[in-house]
């Protein structure tokens, strides 16, 4: 008897070792260690590249990891090695599905079922692919077939619920009722069926993930987070689950938790780290003020995947680290690589406001963005304007008892926009106006609830697509639609481009023109818009006879004494967003510090304590002879009263340029701190002048850098003048135009009525 027949010898040992290695790899994967299992299977292939079972295991693991390319490669090798293996064809279909190649996925699933008609899991996968391809009836038939084969198969039960929910949604789509489709959401019965199915298979990540998607569409965010969390627990290496959970956490206001999730996942996840998760963490770190870390992550993602969204993230992260030239260059790269897509324009446009001083250059960039949006609306049947054909009609003057005004915003929470809008919402004349708020954020706070109580109607619209929101606004009969977000996060400019209302205008939330051709007017004032801005065919100024700003101060700590009076040198300060601290601003402030010996500068903001940003600012001042000992940088404070109390450490506030402060200027004045502002030629660089003139302090507005430095030096030397302002600031402000709520509301309402009367004459009846 030879050695092989006797179960001995090198061949037998090799076969035994191979089986042992396969069993070990399979066991690791079953215990959830997909990466460890892949390492064992790959090691096995080093000795035998044609081992079918190893390729099949690797294909299945990479599918579960969401790694489409290696999943496809191993599945294709497995099917070539065993053409008659149904499971290999099923896994090949799943790999094609990951790549969004539905025809190839369907073909592979059908081949698996030809080879093994009783493979219930392949029926489920085929049903999922058919549902994603729009064949809902076919999908339902597949899931019913799977349940007939395996009545307890949780995946079949859950996906049958998803297919029935999709069937109901498809019926609404065919009805043309976009609002009903987006507002009603999935049938609660379908959700409960999916929940019950997921409960039958607590370790099936896909079932919990799909349940989370249904719950998110139903706007049941807390439950969606819980479902995604269970899914990630069952499949901790899956990229898509991590991204969905992080997105929902951030959207619910739990930004720090989202950062922790991404950081934990990346520490334990595959190498190299997936670019999508790197970008997601970079985005959230940027929002949390950790710009230096965010830039490094964005660059790491770009090194692996140099695509437009990566450049856009780098743009945003550079912006919050005050690296504005680099930010604008990255933003332009994102636009170029995307072929000029509208979605790539808003972040670079925000950067342009922080950097550019030429109004013509700034306007041209916005006009180009508006043209890109208009082109997409004209060419894409799925865009808002193409799906809602009815044009708004103007009512005859005097036909309606009240003018119906819609406010579109994502910022009605503890936010600057809310502070300036509160007087208008609370005191508008309800006999002449009905205010309808379209709120585009999935969460709120006490400020949100206060503003909701002052609005005539409140429509949560974060879940509505552009077409649905356009339809909703038209169905609501809005006469004047006002954009309060512009190109900032949460803006809905495509809705305005689609012409949702007869008269559309922008106000407050964005500091210059939108560029959107359907934006008829832009609320402004004579200081900001004295008639010298370029005409781009949209956003024509609606000039109020007073400042466009009306500030309502929050509950505040008392005004504190001038710290310079205690014997310490004069302290200048800026609590503006770090992105506003352009090189032009810092160079100007360095001149002030050079001219006032022993003076110091206090900077406060979310990114001010970021190590990279701090080093950059210190180096900038060091190059101009200002040592780090004369600079203080404080992080964002948790509470507003703590933030305001810090003004007690500031003697003179220095405004940023070319993007002036707004809320920070008002807060400084209210806390008894004088503000010196340089006035430029653009809307962002004239806001300080508008605010200070409205406050009765026009002498603090400077037209040249030399005047700015001179005014700062004079005020630093005049302790009596500073003390006098601290003593009288609140009384003077309360008597000023800046806090005159009744006068502002009256002027704003009259301007709306006059603009409506003018616009109504030009519209069809």
Residue 563 confidence (pLDDT): 56
- What is the pLDDT, as a whole number, of residue 46? 83
Domain ranges of the chain: 311-379, 399-550, 563-739
Residues 595 and 713 sit within 8 Å (Cβ to Cβ): yes
What HEC string does 242-269 produce? HHHHHHHHHHCCCHHHHHHHHHHHHHHC
State residue 4's pLDDT score. Answer: 41
Q: Are strands 503-506 and 675-678 parallel, antiparallel or unpaired?
A: unpaired
pLDDT in tens, 267-307: 998 889 999 999 999 999 999 999 999 999 999 999 999 99
| Assigned CATH topology for domain 563-739 | Rossmann fold (3.40.50)
Condensed to tens digits (0 to 9), the pLDDT of residues 587-622 reads 999 999 999 999 999 999 888 778 999 999 999 999
Per-residue pLDDT at 342: 96
E strand or H helix at 229: helix 221-234
Nearest to 580 by CA among 606, 562, 560, 600: 606
- Say whether pLDDT at 143 is over 70: yes
Question: pLDDT class for 179, splitting at 50, 70, 90?
Answer: low
Identical fold, 399-550 and 563-739 = yes
Instruction: Evaluate if residue 255 carries a pLDDT over 60.
Output: yes
- Edge-to-edge strand ranges of the sheet holding 503-506: 457-460, 433-439, 403-409, 480-483, 503-506, 521-525, 540-544
CB 95 within 8 A of CB 68: yes
Closest CA to 666 of 687, 686, 650, 683: 687
- pLDDT the model gives residue 170: 72
Other Cβ atoms within 10 Å of 244 Cβ, number? 21
Strand partners, 504: 481
At residue 102, φ and ψ (nearest 5 deg) are -65, -40
Q: Tell the residue number behind the tokens 């949560």, with chain if given.
A: 460
pLDDT recorded at residue 11: 46
Contacts of 204 (CB under 8 A, 6+ apart): 154, 155, 198, 234
Q: Is the pLDDT of residue 678 over 50?
A: yes
Please report the pLDDT score of residue 8 as a whole number: 52
- Where would I find the H helices in 552-677? 583-595, 611-622, 640-645, 663-670
Gap between the Cα atoms of 633 and 289, Å rounded: 13
Q: Is pLDDT of 177 > 90?
A: no
In this predicted structure, the answer to whether residue 65 has a pLDDT above a threshold of 80 is: yes
Model confidence at 557, in pLDDT bands (50, 70, 90)?
Answer: confident
Angle at CA of residue 569, ends 571 and 637, nearest 5°: 35
How far is the CA of 638 from the CAs of 163, 472, 602, 605, 661, in angstroms?
45, 37, 18, 11, 20
**Which of 27-31, 81-85, 347-351 is the least confident region?**
27-31
Average pLDDT, the chain: 91
Dihedral angle of Cα 633, 637, 642, 645, to the nearest 10 degrees:
20
Give the model's pLDDT for residue 181. 53
Per-position DSSP letters for 363-430, written without gaps between them: HHHHHHHHHHHHHHHHH-TTSHHHH--PPP-PPPTTSSSSEEEEEEES--SSSHHHHHHHHHHHHS-T
- Indicate the length of the chain as a whole number: 765
Q: What band does 253 get if pLDDT is binned at 50, 70 and 90? A: confident
Beta bridge partners of 653: 573, 675
> pLDDT tens-digit profile of 702-714?
999 999 999 999 9
CA distances from 672 to 466, 554, 700, 701 (A): 45, 14, 14, 17
Q: Which residue has the higher pLDDT, 566 or 390?
A: 566
Give the distance from CA 24 to its chain's centroid: 44
- Among the ranges given (215-219, 402-406, 437-441, 492-496), the one the predictor scored with the smallest mean pLDDT: 215-219
Nearest to 57 by CA among 77, 81, 41, 39: 41
Positive or negative, the Cα torsion across 695, 697, 698, 704?
Answer: negative
Residue with tokens 């996060």: 489
CA distance 446 to 743: 26
Distances in Å between the Cα of 737 and the Cα atoms of 161, 217, 730 are 60, 46, 13
* Cα(386)–Cα(86) distance, integer angstroms: 45
pLDDT at 2: 43
Structure confidence by residue, pLDDT tens digits, 425-443: 999 999 999 999 999 998 8
For 224, the enclosing helix (H) or strand (E) is helix 221-234
Q: With 60 as the cut, is the pLDDT of residue 355 above it? A: yes
For residue 137, which of 164, 117, 159, 110 has the smallest C-alpha distance? 164
End-to-end CA distance of the chain: 102
How far, CA to CA in Å, does 592 sit from each of 176, 414, 657, 685, 698? Answer: 62, 33, 14, 19, 20
Q: How does strand 433-439 pair with strand 503-506?
A: unpaired
**Over the stretch 719-734, which tens digit does the pLDDT of each residue have?**
999 999 999 999 999 9
547 vs 31, 660, 737, 747, CA distance in Å?
66, 15, 8, 10
pLDDT tier at 385 (50, 70, 90 boundaries)?
A: very low
Q: Higher model confidence: residue 4 or residue 356? A: 356
CA dist 693 to 663, 670, 700, Å? Answer: 15, 15, 9
Torsion of Cα atoms, 751 then 754 then 759 then 764, to 10°: 140
Compute the average pLDDT of residues 693-697.
99
List the one residue out of 217, 303, 228, 222 whose CA is nearest residue 265: 228
**Dihedral angle at the C-alpha atoms of 559, 565, 567, 573, nearest 10 degrees?**
60
Bridge partners of 481?
406, 504
Write out the two tokens for 201.
């298979």
In this predicted structure, what is the pLDDT of residue 6? 46
Which ranges of 596-686 would DSSP assign to H, the alpha helix? 611-622, 640-645, 663-670
Q: Are 708 and 657 in contact (CB under 8 A)?
A: no
502 close to 479: Cβ distance less than 8 angstroms: yes
What is the mean predicted confidence (pLDDT) over 5-21?
A: 60
Is 379 buried (19+), middle (13-18) or exposed (0-12) by CB count in 10 A? exposed
* 399-550: CATH topology: Rossmann fold (3.40.50)
| Confidence grade of residue 228 (pLDDT, cut at 50, 70, 90) | very high
Average pLDDT over residues 476-505: 98
pLDDT in tens, 29-58: 888 788 888 888 888 888 778 899 889 999
Could you write out the DSSP letters of every residue in 471-498? HHHHHTT-SEEEES-TTSTT--HHHHHT
Do the beta carbons of residue 700 and residue 674 sit within 8 Å? yes
Residue 741 has pLDDT above 80, yes or no: yes
The H-assigned helical ranges of 321-358 are: 324-337, 346-355
What is the predicted pLDDT for the residue at 392? 46
Q: Which of 266, 293, 285, 286 is nearest to 277 (CA)?
A: 266
């Amino acid at each position: 008897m030879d050695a092989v027949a006797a179960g001995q010898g090198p061949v037998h040992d090799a076969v035994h070792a191979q089986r042992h290695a396969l069993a070990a790899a399979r066991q690791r994967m079953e215990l959830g260690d997909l990466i460890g299992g892949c390492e064992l299977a790959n090691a096995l292939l080093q000795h035998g590249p044609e081992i079918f079972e190893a390729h099949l295991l690797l294909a299945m693991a990479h599918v579960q990891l969401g790694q489409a390319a290696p999943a496809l490669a191993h599945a294709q090798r497995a099917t070539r090695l065993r053409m008659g293996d149904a499971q290999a064809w099923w896994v090949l279909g799943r790999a094609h599905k990951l790549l969004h190649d539905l025809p190839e996925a369907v073909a592979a699933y059908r081949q698996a079922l030809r080879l093994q008609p009783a493979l219930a899991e392949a029926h489920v996968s085929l049903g999922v692919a058919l549902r994603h391809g729009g064949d809902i009836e076919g999908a339902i038939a597949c899931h019913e077939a799977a349940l007939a084969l395996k009545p307890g198969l949780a995946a079949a039960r859950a996906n049958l619920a998803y297919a029935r929910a999709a069937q109901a949604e498809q019926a609404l789509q065919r009805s043309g009722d976009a609002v009903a489709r987006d507002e009603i959401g999935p049938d609660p019965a379908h959700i409960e069926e999916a929940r019950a199915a997921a409960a039958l298979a607590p370790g099936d990540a896909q079932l919990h993930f799909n349940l989370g998607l249904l719950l998110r569409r139903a706007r049941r965010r807390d439950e969606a987070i819980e479902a995604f969390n269970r899914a990630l627990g069952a499949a901790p290496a899956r990229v898509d689950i991590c991204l969905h959970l992080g997105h929902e956490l951030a959207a619910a206001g739990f930004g720090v938790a989202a950062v922790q999730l991404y950081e934990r996942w990346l520490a334990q996840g595959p190498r190299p780290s997936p670019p999508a998760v790197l970008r997601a963490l970079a985005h959230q770190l940027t929002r949390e003020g950790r710009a230096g870390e965010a830039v490094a992550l964005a660059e790491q993602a770009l090194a692996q995947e140099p695509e437009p969204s990566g450049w856009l993230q780098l743009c945003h992260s550079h912006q919050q680290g005050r690296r504005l030239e680099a930010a604008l260059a990255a933003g332009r790269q994102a636009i170029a690589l995307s072929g000029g897509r509208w979605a790539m324009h808003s972040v670079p446009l925000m950067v342009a406001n922080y950097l550019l001083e030429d109004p013509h250059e700034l306007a041209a960039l916005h006009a180009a963005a508006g043209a890109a949006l208009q082109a997409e609306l004209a060419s894409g049947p799925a865009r808002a304007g193409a799906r809602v054909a009815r044009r708004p009609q103007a009512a005859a003057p005097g036909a309606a008892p009240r003018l119906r005004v819609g406010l579109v915003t994502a910022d009605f929470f503890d936010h600057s926009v809310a502070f300036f809008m509160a007087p208008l919402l609370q005191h508008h004349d309800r006999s002449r106006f009905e205010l309808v708020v379209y709120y585009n954020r999935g969460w709120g706070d006490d400020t949100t609830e206060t503003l909701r109580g002052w609005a005539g109607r409140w429509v949560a619209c974060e879940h509505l697509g552009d077409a649905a929101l356009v339809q909703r606004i038209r169905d609501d009969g809005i006469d004047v639609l006002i954009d309060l977000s512009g190109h900032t996060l949460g803006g809905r400019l495509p809705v305005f481009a689609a012409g949702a209302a007869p008269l559309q205008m922008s106000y407050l939330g964005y500091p210059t023109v939108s560029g959107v051709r359907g934006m008829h007017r832009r609320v402004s004032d004579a200081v900001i818009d004295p008639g010298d801005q370029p005409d781009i065919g949209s956003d024509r100024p609606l000039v109020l006879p007073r400042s466009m700003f009306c500030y309502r101060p929050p509950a505040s700590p008392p005004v504190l004494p001038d710290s310079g009076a205690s014997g310490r040198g004069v302290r200048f300060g800026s609590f503006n967003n770090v992105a506003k601290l352009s090189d032009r601003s810092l160079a100007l402030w360095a001149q002030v510090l050079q001219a006032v010996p022993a003076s110091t500068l206090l900077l406060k903001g979310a990114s001010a304590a970021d190590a990279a940003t701090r080093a950059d600012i210190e180096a900038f001042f060091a190059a101009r002879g200002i040592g780090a000992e004369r600079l203080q940088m404080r992080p964002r404070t948790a509470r507003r009263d703590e933030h305001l109390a810090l003004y007690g450490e500031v003697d003179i506030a220095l405004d940023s340029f070319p993007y002036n402060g707004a809320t920070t200027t008002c807060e400084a004045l209210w806390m008894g701190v004088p503000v010196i502002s340089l006035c430029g030629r653009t809307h962002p660089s004239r806001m300080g002048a508008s605010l200070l003139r409205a406050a009765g302090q026009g002498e603090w507005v400077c037209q040249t850098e030399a005047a700015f430095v001179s005014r700062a030096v004079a005020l630093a030397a005049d302790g009596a003048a500073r003390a006098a302002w601290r003593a009288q600031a609140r009384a003077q402000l309360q008597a000023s135009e800046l806090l005159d709520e009744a006068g502002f509301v009256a002027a704003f309402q009259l301007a709306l009525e006059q603009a409506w009367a003018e616009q109504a004459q030009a519209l069809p009846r």
